[in-house]
């Protein structure tokens, strides 16, 4: 039994296609993050799961039950919104129990739930306050509390942290993670922030233009992006994509960048398909943090590159390098002194590279 299953789901607003044939499954207790740039359809997908938007094609199942035409209140879900959406005229207590009251829950049960959740979230001292008298973090907590008291099957979060300042955001992120660890409820969480996605999700579904690009664990998303969009979207700065082609002869396979004669051996790369590799035009993907200043592994490939620019950002520096007229970035500790306009010896960690087809942009 899947807690949530989405089948061949499509949605359009007029002639604009927002979601295209989405398929998605979540197991009990998982934390799924929908990640993507603005306008990719992730919030629409969440609203559809909640029942706040209609569906054009496809179905949504909760616990194997088709809820596509079920009202939001009957779907056994709860949602936390970006603007918190606390009812301004009600105090914290009334906000939290509004849903239970609508569902005609008994007074004793309401009191019990309120007591339990408000102490758990440490808002028990704020029950009589109006939302306007709360700080951003407290509002966030009350909004989560309002969702918690209903003991839903699935929690939906719609960019809950993006209205908070940077410091509070990191704190609340940790609290949400803690919350999930303790409650083990299934969560669907929408964000455009990759750090949030990486740190919270047990699975991440990366979306672009209404299509899921990759739906895997954070580790796989980071290490094995399935196409150039994912490679570019995840990581900061994003993965270097060097244009070039593959050379294959008998047992050896290597990469040559455009306008370069240097052969980078990639014999250990785990190709999806082994045929037709010779002369294939590809992107050679390597993350800035996988270019080293010192040789770390036996297989690291040494290469001479010219440094053009160095950006100091505290604990590290981002150096712009020239790889036969293609600009690439590398991340080094800021303690290393870089001489600009000069070639230096660097090391590519070949265990962490990704190769993509130049035409289809897919991982090979």
Partner 1 sequence: MQDNLQSSSYKELEQKSKYTNMFLRWFLYFVLILFASYFIFPLYVMVVTSLKTMEEIRQGTLLTWPSSLNFDSWLVAWGGRGYGAGDTFLRPYFWNSIKMVVPAVFFSTFIGAMTGYVLTKWRFKGDQWVFLFLLFGCFIPFQAILLPMARTLGTLGISNSVVGLVLVHTVYGIPFTTLFFRNYYISVPTELVKAARIDGAGFFKIFFKILLPISAPIIVVTVIWQFTQIWNDFLFGSTFSFGEAAPIQVALNNMVLSSTSVKEYNVDMASAIIAGIPTLIVYVLAGKYFIRGLTSGAVKG
Provide, rounded to whole angstroms, the least separation between the CB of residue 81 and partner 1. 4
Nearer to partner 1, 3 or 140 (CB): 140
Per CB under 8 A, the segment of 59-67, 74-82, 204-212, 285-293 that binds partner 1 is 74-82
Q: CA 6 to CA 26: how far, in whole Å?
A: 9
Nearest to 137 by CA among 94, 169, 166, 115: 169
Angle between helices 107-120 and 136-148 (to 10 degrees): 140
Q: What backbone phi and psi angles, to 5 degrees, belong to 5?
A: -135, 135
Given a contact cutoff of 8 angstroms between Cβ atoms, the answer to whether 83 and 163 are in contact is yes
Given a contact cutoff of 8 angstroms between Cβ atoms, the answer to whether 26 and 185 are in contact is no
Binding residue for partner 1, selected from 56, 82, 220, 310, defined by CB under 8 A: 82
Nearest to 161 by CA among 175, 147, 146: 175
Give the helix/strand (H/E) hosting 166: helix 166-183
Per CB under 8 A, the segment of 98-106, 118-126, 168-176, 244-252 that binds partner 1 is 98-106
Per CB under 8 A, the segment of 20-28, 97-105, 170-178, 239-247 that binds partner 1 is 97-105
* Per CB under 8 A, 246 contacts partner 1: no
Name the DSSP class of 235. Answer: T
Per CB under 8 A, the segment of 78-86, 119-127, 182-190, 330-338 that binds partner 1 is 78-86
* Per CB under 8 A, 16 contacts partner 1: no
* Per CB under 8 A, 86 contacts partner 1: yes
Binding residue for partner 1, selected from 16, 64, 88, 272, defined by CB under 8 A: 88
Q: CA 116 to CA 279: how far, in whole Å?
A: 65
Binding residue for partner 1, selected from 12, 54, 66, 89, defined by CB under 8 A: 89
State in Å, rounded, how far the first CA of the chain is from the last one: 33
Q: CA 162 to CA 196: how far, in whole Å?
A: 10
Site for partner 1 in 264-323 (CB under 8 A): none
Provide, rounded to whole angstroms, the least separation between the CB of residue 127 and partner 1. 18
Residue 20 has which token pair? 């295209």
Nearer to partner 1, 90 or 127 (CB): 90
> Around 208, how many Cα atoms within 13 Å sit in the side-chain half-sphere?
12
Residue 157 has which token pair? 């979060």
Binding residue for partner 1, selected from 38, 132, 249, 325, defined by CB under 8 A: 132
Binding residue for partner 1, selected from 36, 131, 235, 285, defined by CB under 8 A: 131
Nearer to partner 1, 132 or 335 (CB): 132
Residues engaged in binding partner 1 (CB under 8 A): 47, 50-52, 72-73, 77-79, 81-89, 98-99, 102-103, 131-132, 139, 146, 158
């Amino acid at each position: 039994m899947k807690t949530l299953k989405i089948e061949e789901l499509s949605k359009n607003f007029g002639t604009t296609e927002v979601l295209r044939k989405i398929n998605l499954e979540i197991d009990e207790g998982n934390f799924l993050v929908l990640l993507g740039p603005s306008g990719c359809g992730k919030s629409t997908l969440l609203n559809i799961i909640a029942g706040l938007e209609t569906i054009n094609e496809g179905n949504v199942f909760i616990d194997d039950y088709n809820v596509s035409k079920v009202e939001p209140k009957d779907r056994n879900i709860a949602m936390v919104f970006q603007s918190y959406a606390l009812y301004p005229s009600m105090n914290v207590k009334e906000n939290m129990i509004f849903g239970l009251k609508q569902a005609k829950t008994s007074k004793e049960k309401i009191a019990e739930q309120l007591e339990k959740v408000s102490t758990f979230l440490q808002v028990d001292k704020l029950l009589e306050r109006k939302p306007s008298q709360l700080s951003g973090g407290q509002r966030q907590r009350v909004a989560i509390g309002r969702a918690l008291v209903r003991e839903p099957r699935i929690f939906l979060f719609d960019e809950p942290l993006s209205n908070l300042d940077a410091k509070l955001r990191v704190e609340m992120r940790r609290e949400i993670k803690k919350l999930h660890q303790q409650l083990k409820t299934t969560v669907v969480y929408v964000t455009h922030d990759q750090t949030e996605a990486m740190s919270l999700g047990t699975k991440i579904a990366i979306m672009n233009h209404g299509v899921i690009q990759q739906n895997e664990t954070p580790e796989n998303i980071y290490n094995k992006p399935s196409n150039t969009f994912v490679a570019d979207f995840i990581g900061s700065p994003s993965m270097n994509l060097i244009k070039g082609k593959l050379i294959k002869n008998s047992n050896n396979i290597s990469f040559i960048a455009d306008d370069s004669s240097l052969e980078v051996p990639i014999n250990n790369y785990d190709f999806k398909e082994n045929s037709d590799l010779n002369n294939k035009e590809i992107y050679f993907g390597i993350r800035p943090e996988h270019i080293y200043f010192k040789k770390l592994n036996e297989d690291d490939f040494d290469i001479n590159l010219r440094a053009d620019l160095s950006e100091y950002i505290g604990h590290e520096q981002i150096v712009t390098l020239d790889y036969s007229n293609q600009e690439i970035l590398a991340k080094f500790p800021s303690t290393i002194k870089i001489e600009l306009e000069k070639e230096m010896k660097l090391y590519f960690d070949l265990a962490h590279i990704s190769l993509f087809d130049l035409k289809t942009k897919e991982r090979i």
